[in-house]
Amino acid sequence: MRVMTQGTTLTHVFGAAVTVCRVCRNSCGYCSFRDVESDLMPLEKLAAEFIGFAKAGAIQVSLVSGDSPHVYPSIQFALKRESCVAFSEYLRKGCALAVEAGLLPVVEAGALDPFDVQTVSEMAASVRFSLTAAGLHGKGEAHAEARNRGPEHAKGLIEQAHRSQLPYHLDFLIGIGETEAERHEFLRTVGTFCGADPWLQDVRLVPFQPIPGTAMSGRPPLGFEQVAAAMRVLREAFPVHFRAITPHLFSRFAELTGHGLNDLGPLPFLTGDPVMSGFPVPAYETLKSRLTEHNILLSERLPLTTPAAENRGSMTPTLAAARNRLLNRDQAKIKLIDDKHCFVCGHRNTQGLQITLQKNDPGTCSTVWTSGPAHQGYAGIVHGGILTTLLDEMMGHAIISTGILAVTAEMRIKFLRPAPIGFPLTVVGNRTGGRGRVHLAKGVVMLPDGTVLAEAEGRFVEC
């Protein structure tokens, strides 16, 4: 069904998410995130991830973890390795690294206790809490093997964030076994309790989705009308807030705007959603095009939305940097977002080439790649389009290695000899000059013995 709206705007936050630890003391029936054998991400690796996210244009980063992983001896040893005496100290150090990279850090680590909240508040931009409308601790229910889940814990979490003057976001997990009456009443109760709190930033519905391998994989998800009804109650309970829903319902965004949806929350374009990894986050241009079909404008916003949150002194420089990044992206003619799905070098693209780029010197880029049968044109010969793609990638990244973001405007290719399937090919790109916003580059494809198979020249234009 095609839904037309009257000039609606949906906002979103350009973000990334990183899993710092999958160990969790809870085993919720609907969750596939938990892995008690996983390790704690080293802080050094975390810092490198943050730098990459910032270069790619992210505004915020979510530090995602299971609930109370420190109760496991393996994580206690890992914390000692990172020179941390508590998990909250690790989170605080992680947030500090995000701030240093120019990102606004959001902590998503389950039901934090008062000490944890106070500790992370020193460096976190905000914290995200997941709330449920019913306890469901009975045998065979969603939280049969979980603690601190249920409506009675919601007030305490919110009060902890308020006392620490830590901005917070609320997720409402729905459809896990609560009745519709319980669901709606809980939304209204929480809205009455904290709807006027200046530290509350936004709210989001998280409708249950069955995931293979979980205890509740056979449970059907809520129907659209039930989700729409919950969104209407959310609008009633939080009339002035940003109201979002999770990306896996991307195909129903347009319809839900008529029921109260006005925001898409944090969209981890760069990383995907680690909690629901089986449901890909739509690419920005795809999302924008789909919404435009329904006369809906997609607009980016900052994750901190109230004066109390924006005026926290510790976040002022980072918030200013985030605001500049947002404005630069808004003014750009083309929004170039590297979500690691590039056909050539994207490690998240399972159907791509997944090559490794070597950028040893500014202005150069190279790789060594071995083709397979899937890359042929005529029998035993690499398709010319693949060689063209590789040359384009190397020349483009040769320019990018100088700190300039540019796109291909023109290419000329000379195919000199057939490229045999199964042989390692060296592909090299070099920036050769340029003027103003236009940059020139050359590229070659060679066999191991130095035989040149193809040559290219390209003209690239800064974005």
First to last CA, the chain: 37
* pLDDT at residue 121 tops 80: yes
Residue 7 — pLDDT band, cuts 50, 70, 90? low
- The per-residue pLDDT of the chain, averaged, comes to 93
pTM of the model: 0.85
Q: What is the mean pLDDT of residues 378-404?
A: 95
pLDDT one-digit tens code per residue, 157-198: 999 999 999 999 999 999 999 999 999 999 999 999 999 999
Q: What is the mean pLDDT of residues 101-130?
A: 94
CB under 8 Å to 339, separation ≥6 — which residues? 269, 270, 271, 283, 284, 346, 348
CB under 8 Å to 398, separation ≥6 — which residues? 363, 364, 365, 429, 430, 431, 441, 443
Whole-number pLDDT of residue 282: 86
Structure tokens at 131: 């709330």
Q: How large is the angle between the packed helices 180-194 and 224-237, nearest 10 degrees?
A: 20
Q: Determine what percent of the chain is predicted with pLDDT higher than 90.
A: 80
Whole-number pLDDT of residue 245: 96
Angle formed at CA 206 by CA 98 and CA 68, multiple of 5 degrees: 55
* pLDDT at residue 449 tops 90: yes
Domains and CATH numbers, the chain: 8-331 (3.20.20.70), 364-462 (3.10.129.10)
Q: What is the mean pLDDT of residues 81-108?
A: 96
